[in-house]
Chain A
Amino acid sequence: MTSIDTSLITTDDASDGTASPPRTGRRYSPEGRRSLLLTILLWLCVLYFVLPLWWLFVSSTKNNSALFSTFGMWFGGDFSLWENLQTLFTVRDGIFLRWMLNTFVYAFVSAAGATLLATMAGYSFAKYDFPGKKLLFSATLGAVMIPLTALALPTYLLFSQAGLTDTPWAVIIPSLVSPFGVYLMRVYAADAIPDGLIEAARVDGAGEFRIFAQVGLRLLGPGLVTVFLFSLVATWNNYFLPLIMLNSSELYPITVGLAQLQSAASAGGGSQALFSTVITGSFVSILPLVIAFLFLQRYWQSGLASGGVKG
């Protein structure tokens, strides 16, 4: 795994600007050298990524009959977004809202826990020397390669023996492990927290935990946001784990819920306007994460790299 080691070190060098200063880039690419061809190519690619989402939005404004009779990429029929939303939030006694809330809770608790555990472990690996450090870190890195869904089956069996299946814990506890988060935080902490600062705090008589909480955490900001967001997305988007762990539909997260709605719609032949509900539900369900990424881009992008705001 040594080959991976340097990638994120360089990534993080840029974020605090201590090591080799990031390029400003401008010097070598004066405005006059923009390429029209490249601009066109880039925006064609953007179309590929954005048009499906545009379709999703347009379709969520249509009722079930317009969905199947008008051109998909443009508005048609009556503007039914409000009716669709109303149906969505009232279908089966408002279970959609319940699913959204479940997703919020599972994703936030898991991400907060995973980030805390990863940060403490990463900090320890980066800033202390102790016997067994190499072995433990290698084990952590090796675990990055274990396919988590392959673990889901035995985890399910263990949880069912412990009577924990069909509870929120069955989704949250397995999501707390983030070996990649530990790796990221180790690399990040190694650069972001100067050893001298820790030494100075020790000389002042601060305990190791106070140093971590008051010196370490403060300097790890962008790294924390990056690990938090990526674990948040991992839990938010997870389908396999909640699908096998949960039985009661009032515990479902949005992914499992939508899949269930969809199969009900397919089975019911669309008689209950369910297709438009599934589509509107899909559209509403992606809004929180998309908005979070847009608003927090300053943080997660500076966690990955800085100085690169171009265009």
Chain B
Amino acid sequence: MTHSPALASERPASAPPLKKRTTPMKRKQRLAAYLFLVPFFIVFITMLVVPLVYAGYLSLFESKLIGGDVFAGLANYVRALTDSAFLAGLGRVGLFFIIQVPIMLGLALFLALALDSARGRGSKAVRLLIFVPYAVPAVVATLMWGYLYGPDFGPIAQISRAVGLGTPDFLSPESILGSMMNIVTWEFVGYNMIIMYAALRSIPAELYEAAEIDGAGQFRLAWSIKIPAIRPALMLTVIFSIIGSFQLFAEPSLLNAIAPDAISTSFTPNYYAYNLAFINQELNYAAAIAFLLGVVIAIVSYFVQLAGERRERVGHAERGIEP
């Protein structure tokens, strides 16, 4: 990704002896480079770094009735790590991640591979129609599915009763997490599919020719050439999905209105932090929860990436390909 060698080599022949120290021209370019970065990094620092540090700072204090904010050390963290409501919420999004993400990404990968193979009719329309839910806000998607799930007038219940299966209960405490998984799957399969499809389209033709001549079938081709070739894009979708599932908010907060028994105020950590901060006025504790959530996401992302890289090395070794 470094372009400096190419840049240097295009200099006129008389230039090379000068390249040792920074020339005025080089200095001018450096200044320009920093100036291009300044606007982004101003917003980056004020909107990302400062809030992050501030959350860390706040989380170390406690609000007392007498005496106001008092330094509390790690008390908020100790409380969070022993708070069964927070831990249950974390467990719920963890379960969500383990079950929903493989289903969503598996479906997206299947669709991307199917569209890439061009064996189905109307691929272009299929691609667009599956992508459309991405343009639907989570709020609208949740409202809509909330009506669709409705036990009395929801079309799913209507159909189910018509064929004699009784009324399914999508909004009970036992099934609400599954219903939520379905909403998120519906929203994001298309987005992930497009990322994977774009990566598939840019695999160079040479990679295929040999395999096609060898008479490898579509499944073989997908498994041993296409999927390894788009591994980086797959990793990207996994990382985004980790972030997405651990910070679920709109879905639980809107489903809470139609299924208050099934969705507690601590259903997901993010929803819990919101309720703590704005309903209970426990800002310091909410900051600790938000901070911990960020740490959990970073740790999970790191390990998933590590596992992905190890898998890649093993895969290369097995096939005898130089990484």
Residues of A within 8 A of B (CB): 1, 3-11, 13-14, 20-26, 28-29, 33-35, 38-39, 41-43, 45-46, 48-50, 52-53, 55-56, 59, 67-69, 71-73, 116-118, 120-121, 123-131, 133, 136, 139-140, 143-151, 153-158, 173-174, 176-177, 179, 182, 186, 190, 195-196, 199, 202, 208-209, 212, 233, 236-237, 239-240, 244, 254-256, 258-259, 262-263, 266, 278-279, 282, 285-286, 289-290, 292-294, 297, 301, 304-311
Contact = CB atoms under 8 A, between A and B. Distances in A.
Contacts of A10: 199, 202-203, 232-233
A23 B305 CA distance: 29
Contact of A177 (B6, B47, B119, B232): B47
A3 B6 contact: no
Contact of B139 (A38, A139, A239): A239
Interface string B265-302: 00000100110011000010011001101100110010
B58 A157 contact: yes
A118 B37 CA distance: 9
Interface of B: 1-4, 6-7, 10-11, 25, 28-30, 32-34, 36-37, 39-41, 43-44, 47-48, 50-52, 54-55, 58, 107, 111, 114-141, 143-145, 147-148, 152-155, 158-159, 186, 189-190, 194-195, 197-199, 201-206, 208, 212, 230-233, 235-236, 239, 243, 246-247, 249-250, 253-254, 257-258, 270, 273-274, 277-278, 283, 286-287, 290-291, 293-294, 297-298, 301, 305, 308-309, 312
Contact of B128 (A158, A237, A297): A297
B16 to A, nearest CB: 15
Contacts, number: 362
Contact of A293 (B50, B115, B135, B278): B135
Contact of A176 (B47, B126, B138, B250): B47
Contacts of A282: 140, 143-144
Do most interface residues of chain A lie in helix, strand or loop, or is the interface mixed?
A: helix
A42 B111 contact: yes
B139 A11 contact: no
Given A56-B144, A177-B47, A117 B190 contact: no
A221 B311 CA distance: 37
The residue in A116, A117, A196 that gathers the most chain B C-beta atoms within 10 A of its C-beta is A117
7 contacts: A10-B199, A29-B117, A59-B147, A124-B36, A151-B48, A182-B40, A258-B139
Nearest to A226: B198
Contacts of A46: 125-126, 129-130
